[in-house]
Amino acid sequence: MKMRKALALGVVSALTLGTLGLTGCGAKDTGSSTSGGSGELTGALTVAGSDTMVNMAQAWAETFMTANPGVQISVKGGGSGTGIAALINGTIDIADASREMKPEELAQLSTATKTAVARDGIAVVVNAANSVEDISLGDLGKIYRGEITNWKDVGGADAPIVLVSRDSSSGTYEYFKEAVVGKDKEFAKSAKLLASTQAIVDEVKANPNAIGYIGVGYESSDIKVVKVDGVASSVATVLDGTYELSRDLYVYTAKAPEGLAKAYIDWIVSADGQAIVKDQGFVPLP
Amino acid sequence: MTENDHRQRRLGRIRVARATESAVRFGITASGWAAIAILTAIAVFLTYNAWQALASPQAGFLKMISGTEWYPLSNPPKFGFLPYVIATLRVTGVALAVAVPLGLAAAVFISEFANRRVKGIARSVVEFMAAVPSVVYGLLGVYVVGPFVKDIFRMPSALSALSAGLVLSLMALPTIIAISEDAMHAVPKDLRYGSLALGNTRWQTAYKVVVPAASSGVFASVMLGMGRAIGETMVVLMVAGNSMETTWSLATSARPLTSVIAGEMGEVVQGGLHYSALFVVGLTLFVITFLINLAADMVLERQRQRWRR
């Protein structure tokens, strides 16, 4: 009887230790890209990065996977900074970025290759009940640096401005900082650093005194888009450059794309991929 | 069966029993030491990775803890996280200010005044509350608690230290209720009967006799609830607004230490100064939690000494 108990205890401990040991060795899959013989693509890709691009990246991945059933693509957000850091650390294949890599980042990964995949405008949004229609770029900078704090100074009601921003892992944040706040200046300390574009849309929708900035793909009828220097953001004004807050969206690979990554990126810049760009509300490449 | 056979069999059983005991004792001792080893390993891991920022001239602990500007990506980078320490204290303060009275009252009700059916239902509901994932509480905070607080208190935004603190109190509440109620349940019935016999009402018995008798368990529950509130990440990331102002105001947004780490850890490159600075923040959190638990243990130990007399 005692022997059977000892045996049972031994089997249970062996199973527990064995399970723990197995969970320890997980295979680190950084994505393999192969191209089987007759033009049939197979393999897996991991894509991560820009939150601005994440819905579009998901749409690209789904359409590409439907057209190429042997391919597996996983898409994540996290912000351009997160994607680029993961690319440098070697944990993903393709990084979506709504900004260019910085010199310090390029120093860590000198072979990083950039491919422009779409154009984007940064829309400045306010609550639907806000009476302001147009803000100059200079005033926008002052608002976001905390130098203008009341809506009445830009033609609105007498109410304090609630600043809403993305956080520092966002390419949109970096671009806005360079283009509006000033490269060597900082955002106001009272700026709320929210984790995603959707969080900005939610806050601006609910707060009559909020102002935020989002990619044009996230414009919705619940919030009001303000003109910058008299120009409204649209596909036309972003393409011809009259809208000042226009930028390119990129994908980065650790080295010049090859194999499945190359096929995927070539597809993205082709007519099929660019049709999805238009669907998502962004601006296709000229 | 001869006499000898019986003796052999008895000796055999004794040998197996002794062998089992040694094996089990070894296993238990190893598990105990493993727990200590893991905790030490975590502390070493945090300190090792934080060292670069602690020793660097641009950062350094004193500069970081007293600095009010956290601009890790600027040139030169600034790593002052004082506003974030104060933010953690603000949201935790709100959470405890709401959860402790509410939790104690609920525990007293469940333990002293509820009939058996209500007690069973209440206990299950409290356990369920404790099992709800924190991101669900975050959604609750963004879409329900935040707007409600904004309207009632006429605040500039729904994302504030007050909203986050209230949601955190919902998360600390089940911990406080469950453990306090256990502590009160463990108070011997004789104390209650004695008090009632001497003429106290049930409410007087509850607050004069039962709660003081259970005070060590109640205190432990508050410490655990505080630990939960300090360490909570998802809720504060979604609800607290994440601004850098150094203020004690509850209507302003807050960015607690957990939110800083969660928001920025993804974008740092391993081994850099920013990475190391985030580990300093993590180490600060670890030390704060450790000190709270140490203080709780010391108070409990003193309580235990008192009762032993």
- The ipTM value here is 0.78
Q: Which of B83, B245, B263 sits opposite A167 (nearest CB)?
A: B263
pLDDT of B159-211, one tens digit each?
Answer: 999 999 999 999 999 999 999 998 898 899 999 999 999 999 999 999 999 99
What's the 3-state SS for A58-123? HHHHHHHHHHCCCEEEEEEEECHHHHHHHHHHCCCCEEEECCCCCHHHHHHCCCCEEEEEEEEEEE
DSSP state of A21: H
Q: Looking at residue A264, what is its pLDDT?
A: 93
Q: Looking at residue A196, what is its pLDDT?
A: 87
Which residues, 6 or more positions from B236, have their beta carbon under 8 angstroms from its beta carbon?
A: B91, B164, B168, B254, B255, B256, B258, B259
Which residues, 6 or more positions from A37, have their beta carbon under 8 angstroms from its beta carbon?
A: none
Position A18 confidence tier, pLDDT thresholds 50, 70, 90: low
pLDDT of A46-62, one tens digit each?
Answer: 999 998 899 999 999 99
Q: Looking at residue A27, what is its pLDDT?
A: 42
pLDDT of A30 higher than 50: no
Q: Does 3.90.1150.10 match the CATH number of domain A12-119+249-279?
A: no
Which residues, 6 or more positions from B167, have their beta carbon under 8 angstroms from its beta carbon?
A: B137, B138, B140, B141, B145, B235, B239
Higher pLDDT, B269 or B283: B283
Q: Tell how strand A162-166 and strand A210-215 pair up.
A: parallel
Position A39 confidence tier, pLDDT thresholds 50, 70, 90: low
Cβ of residue B44 closer than 8 Å to a chain A Cβ: no
Residues of A in contact with B73 (CB under 8 A): 168, 174
Cβ of residue B245 closer than 8 Å to a chain A Cβ: yes
Place of tokens 């200046």: A185
Q: Looking at residue A183, what is its pLDDT?
A: 84
Pick the residue of A193, A204, A205 with the most B CBs within 10 A to test the interface with B by mutation: A193
Higher pLDDT, A25 or A10: A10
The closest alpha carbon to B237, from B286, B171, B164, belongs to B164
Cβ of residue B73 closer than 8 Å to a chain A Cβ: yes
Q: Do A81 and B159 touch (CB under 8 A)?
A: no
pLDDT of B139-154, one tens digit each?
Answer: 999 999 999 999 999 8
Position B85 confidence tier, pLDDT thresholds 50, 70, 90: very high
Cβ of residue B74 closer than 8 Å to a chain A Cβ: yes
Where do the CATH 3.40.190.10 domains begin and end in chain A? 12-119+249-279, 120-246
Per the prediction, chain B carries an average pLDDT of 90
pLDDT of A104 higher than 70: yes
Full-model pTM: 0.81
Peptide bond into B76 cis (omega under 30): yes
pLDDT of A38 higher than 70: no
Average pLDDT over residues A142-160: 92
Q: Looking at residue A140, what is its pLDDT?
A: 93
pLDDT of A111-135, one tens digit each?
Answer: 999 999 999 989 999 999 999 999 9
CA distance A57 to chain B (A): 19
Q: Looking at residue A21, what is its pLDDT?
A: 60
Q: Which CATH number fits domain A120-246: 1.10.3720.10, 3.30.300.30, 3.30.70.330, 3.40.190.10?
A: 3.40.190.10
